[in-house]
Amino acid sequence: MKMSIRSSLLTTLIIAMSVLYLVRLAAGYIQTVQLTDEVYDEMLLNSVDSLAGWLDASAKGFDIKISSASSAILTHNNIDKYFYEVFDAEGKRLTGNTNLIDNETALRSLVKSGPKTTRVENSDVRIMAADVPLTRDQLKSVTIVLAETLNARKRFFEKTFVAIAITQFLAMSLSIACVYLFVSKAFLPFKKLKQNITERDTSRFAQLPEAGAPAEMAPFLAEFNKMCAAIEQDVRSRERFISNAAHQLRTPLAGLRNYASFGLELDSKEELKDVVLRIDKGLSGLTRLVNQLLALARAEREYFMQEHFERVELNNIVSRTISLLEPEAVNKGIELSCELTTDSTWLYGHPLGLEQLVANLIENAIAYSPNGGEVIIRTGGGPQIVFIVEDGGPGIPAEERERIFERFYRIRGSAGSGSGLGLSIVKEVATCHQAEVTIEDGNNNKGTRFTVKFHEKTASSQL
């Protein structure tokens, strides 16, 4: 199961905060140990000074006489034991209540190193030694070694560390709660977006509201709404295409059915032959319409994708197409004047699509040229290859020149029996090849000139 962004973010933040808590806990542990040692080592040093004040010389040697009050000061807690020894300047032991130091070397080392932890009488103790000057008696100075067990230190450390740990844990818990609330609040717009997407009317391609959305979501919403608008436009276009196609097919099919019904009632062979000829002509027109519908379907961008493109030569396509359409032109007495360039006309494109583009432009010119007219076909080479078809027909009004590329659109009152799909196919194929189709008046403002300009990269790159 995939983890949501919200869960992933919360998990990452909680893990990071937990690691930070452990790091701070470890730092608190170290600081508490240092604080405990500093406090109790200072108290241990004060006890060494107190012992020096209670040092007393007698005929039997030196001893430390501690009154009950002094003992209370020295033993500032009742849970630890204290051990001491006193040495003269030469390292000779003067007095003590246990054996802490074995030799003078160890004594000097302890004085230099400062307090440290060791074991005395099977107990962990903190021990230190200090040289203490005397202002009385015959000794100028003594070295006092004092040790205490660690019970009070451990109790102080535990209380202090537990307090730090609890405080940091409560702070971390509060921080996690705040992070959870803030993240949940930050993701409310996403939750609302999900709800809007779930509840939206998909059949109407309703767009999502962009007002009040966070800045991070604005580009997504804008692109999503743009996509919905494009899909809606495409669906509506397809619906119109299907509706128009059904309408265009219904008329010739109804005519064929009427001719067939009429033919069944005829007895004369001559009359029946005339009906059959009319049916054959209707079938030819119907076949042409179906072929144009298939060509238009193929002319979608998804069909003419770059992976289907290959190296083709425009002059060859134009020559083949003219030879195929020449009988149709001869039937109308139309002369096809071909002016093909000697420059290179190699293109990177879809062969079938380019054949459809050339064929539809020439067929359109033949259809709208008067009997005995002329259709001029040219190609131009160079960095930008061009294909030009010019007829001597009635021309196209300027206000109609954009609409003639719409599917099934025919200029009102125009001659010919076309379906209104040929120029739509031309436009689709040109768009897929990044080509530009322009419409101009012919020579002497008569007829129409269609010019297809191929993009320079289409003409030269990857060849």
Task: Look at the block and give the residue holding tokens 């080592």.
Answer: 41
Delimit the domains of the chain by residue range: 5-159, 218-298, 306-460
Q: Which candidate, 155, 77, 147, places its Cα nearest to that of 118?
A: 147
Calpha distance 400→437 (Å, rounded): 15
Q: Which helix (H) or strand (E) holds 374?
A: strand 374-380
Q: How far is CA 110 from the centre of its chain?
A: 66
Q: Who contacts 436 (Cβ-Cβ below 8 Å, separation ≥6)?
A: 430, 452, 453, 455
What is residue 76's predicted lDDT score, i.e. its pLDDT?
Answer: 58
Q: Are strands 374-380 and 335-339 parallel, antiparallel or unpaired?
A: parallel
* 3-state helix, strand and coil shares in percent for the chain, rounded to the nearest 5: 55, 15, 25
Calpha distance 18→25 (Å, rounded): 10
What is residue 86's predicted lDDT score, i.e. its pLDDT?
Answer: 87
Amino acid at 322: I
Amino acid at 159: K
Enter the tokens of residue 192: 């609302």
Whether residue 222 contacts residue 209, with contact meaning beta carbons closer than 8 Å, is answered with no
Half-sphere CA count of 344, side-chain side, radius 13 A: 12
DSSP state, residue 420: S
Mean pLDDT per 10-residue interval, the chain, length 463 residues: 80 92 93 92 86 62 54 64 86 84 87 90 91 68 89 92 93 92 85 77 70 76 82 74 64 70 74 76 70 63 64 92 88 90 87 86 88 91 88 82 74 58 82 88 86 74 48
Calpha distance 408→423 (Å, rounded): 9
- Fold for 218-298, please state it: Helix Hairpins (1.10.287)
The CATH code for residues 5-159 is 3.30.450
What is residue 22's predicted lDDT score, i.e. its pLDDT?
Answer: 93
CA angle 445, 448, 451 (to 5 degrees): 120
Enter the tokens of residue 127: 């021990």
Put simply, whether the predicted model's pTM sits higher than 0.95 gets the answer no
Strand order in the sheet with 123-133: 93-96, 82-87, 141-149, 123-133, 116-120
Q: Which candidate, 55, 216, 227, 184, places its Cα nearest to that of 130?
A: 55
What is residue 33's predicted lDDT score, i.e. its pLDDT?
Answer: 92
What is residue 412's predicted lDDT score, i.e. its pLDDT?
Answer: 58
Domain at 306-460, CATH class: alpha beta
